[in-house]
Amino acid sequence: MSFQQGLSGLNGAAKSLDVIGNNVANASTVGFKQSQTQFADMYANSMNRSGNSPVGIGVTVANVAQAFTQGNITSTNNPLDIAINGDGFFQLSASLTDSSPLYGRNGQFELDKNGYIINPSMNGAFLMGYAAGVTGGDPVRLQIDTSSIPATTTTTISTKVNLDSRLSVPTTTPFNAADPTSYNNSTGVTIYDSLGNPYSVQTYYVKNAPTGTPPTTTWDVYATVDGKTLVTTTGGTTPLKLGSMVFNSTGTLTSTLDSTGTAIASGQIPINLTTTGTNAGVVKAGGTFASNILLSYAGSTQTGSAFVNLAQSQNGMAPGTLSSFSIDKDGTIVGSYSNQQTKNLGSVVLVNFANPNGLQPLGNNLYQATAAAGSPLVGKPTTGTFGTLQARAVEDSNVDLTAELVNMIVAQRVYQANSQTIKVQDTVLQTLVSLR
C-alpha cells in the first residue's frame, strides 16, 4: 500500500498555491511577471523493464515559469518613470563598484544626489546606457549632467526678406531711425556677446531709384543696436550705411555691396561691434564680439507684393541652466535649458535574451543572466526586436487577478482530492491490518 501519489499531489497543490499567492501578492508590483506552476508525472523504473502499463507514483513540480507578457501601461507624473512597450529589459548595476549586470522591467527611476539614475524599488540599482554622443560599446551608469550651457557669441545673422518693388523712394534723407519717412521697412533680431548679454538689432531698408537698362534696384541697409544708431565715426552722428542689396529686373538678389559700394565676395554685409570698431561703445561692459557679425540676405527677393520677413536666425545664445529633461521613445535623454536650447544627455539601452525564462529571479524586481537564458543582446529601443520606451509611465504587473482566483479554487480542490486519496489509503491499510 502506497501513500506516495497522494502525498506528491498534496505537495504539488501546495506549491501551486504558493505560486498563486505570490502572483496575487504582487498584483500591484510594477514590472512584475506572473508565474505558473508546471507539473510532470512520475514513474518508477522497473529493473528488468517489464510491464507495459506501470502505475505512476505521483506528480512532481517540473518548473515554475514566468510569463513575460506585456503588462498594461499607466501614466505617471515622474519624468524619469519609463515603461517598456514590447520586448527587452533595462540593464542595471547594483552599485558604483559592482559592474555585474542585472536586468528588470520596473521603470520607477529617479536621480540620486550625484545625478545618477537609480531605481529605489530595485535596491537603488543604477540604470545603464550610453553617455551623450556614444552609440555603442559597453553600457555605463547613466549620470545626468546638470551643468549650464555657456553663452555663445553671435557671429552670423541670416535674414531672408521680400522687399516690395512698388514702394517709393523715401522722401526724407538722410536715414533717421526715429523718422519712418526716411526708410521703407525694418526687421529685428536679438544677438548675444561673449557673456551672453542680449542686444536688440534692428535693420532698416531704404529703397533707391532703379537705374540702368534693364533696371536694377538697390536697397541700402542701416542698423540700430539697443536703439542706438550705428554711425560712421566714433562719437559722430552720421548714420552708417552697412551695405546694400542689388536686385535685377526679375527681383533676384544679384549682389551685395559694402558701405563704400564695393561688391562683397562672400555676399555677407559686416557689422563691426568689436573693441576696435567705430561702434564698440554699444557693447555692454565686460562683453565682447571677437569679429565682425556677418549679415546674410541670401534668398531675399524684390517683388510686387507686400514686404514680409521670410526667415530670421542668428547663431549666438545666452547661457542656459537645465530646467527639465525628457526621454524619447528611442531612449534618448533630452535636456531642456532656460535659453530654449536642448541637449542630448545620454540614452537608455535595452537588453534581450533568446530565453527570458532562463533568467534567475533575485528579488526586488531584478533578474540575473544564466546560461539557460542565452547571451544578452544589447540594443537601442525601437530597433530590431526591441520595444519602445514611454516616458512618464510604468508597466503594471501582468497578473490577472480573476484568473488567479479561479486557479486558487482549482488548486484548493486538487489539494482536497489528494487528501481524500490518502484518507482512503489509510482506511484500506487499517482494514488490512485488522485482518486476523
The pLDDT of residue 5 is: 85
Q: What is the pLDDT of residue 52?
A: 63
Are 260 and 232 within 8 A, CB to CB? no
**Residue closest to 168 by CA, chosen among 188, 148, 182, 151:** 182
Q: What is the distance between the alpha carbons of residues 23 and 232, in angstroms, rounded to a whole number? A: 82
Q: Over the range 208-217, which residues count as b (16 or more CB within 10 Å of their CB) and which as e?
A: eeeeeeeebb
| Strand bridging mode 301-303 / 156-164 | parallel
Distances (CA, A) of 364 to 11, 127, 368, 427: 27, 14, 12, 47
Spans of all domains in the chain: 4-69+399-433, 73-138+349-395, 156-314
**Residue 157 burial by Cβ neighbours in a 10 Å radius (0-12, 13-18, 19+):** buried
- At 402 the three-state DSSP class reads helix
- Give pLDDT, residue 58: 85
Q: Check if CATH label 2.40.50.40 holds for domain 156-314.
A: no
Outline where DSSP puts E strands in 185-340. 185-192, 198-207, 217-225, 228-229, 243-247, 253-258, 268-271, 293-296, 301-303, 308-314, 322-327, 332-337
- Report pLDDT for 41: 85
- Is the CA virtual torsion 292, 219, 179, 303 positive or negative? negative
User: Does the pTM exceed 0.75?
Assistant: yes
Strand partners, 343: 335
Residue 373 is predicted with a pLDDT of: 95
Q: Tens digit of pLDDT per residue, the chain (436 long)?
A: 478 888 888 898 899 999 999 999 999 999 999 999 998 888 776 655 555 667 778 888 889 989 999 999 999 999 999 999 999 999 999 999 888 999 999 999 999 999 999 999 898 999 999 999 898 889 999 999 989 999 999 999 999 999 999 999 999 999 999 999 999 999 999 999 999 999 999 999 999 999 999 999 999 999 999 999 999 999 899 999 999 999 999 999 999 999 999 999 888 999 999 999 999 999 999 999 989 999 999 999 999 999 999 999 999 999 999 999 899 999 999 999 999 899 999 999 999 999 999 999 999 999 999 999 999 999 999 999 999 999 999 999 999 999 999 999 999 999 999 888 888 888 888 888 888 6
Sign of CA dihedral 144, 146, 150, 152: positive
Nearest alpha carbon to residue 274 among 392, 194, 382, 213: 194
272-285 burial string, b = 16+ CB within 10 Å, else e? Answer: bbbeebbbeebbee
Contact by Cβ (8 Å): 381, 356: no
DSSP-derived letter for residue 120 is G
Predicted pLDDT at 334 = 95
From CA 48, how far away is CA 426, in angstroms rounded?
31
Of the candidates 133, 132, 134, 121, which has an alpha carbon nearest to the alpha carbon of residue 90? 121
How is residue 433 written as a grid cell? 491490518
217-225 and 185-192 as β-strands: parallel, antiparallel, unpaired? unpaired
- Strands 350-352 and 377-379, how do they pair? antiparallel
Nearest to residue 224, comparing CAs of 240, 206, 244, 243?
240
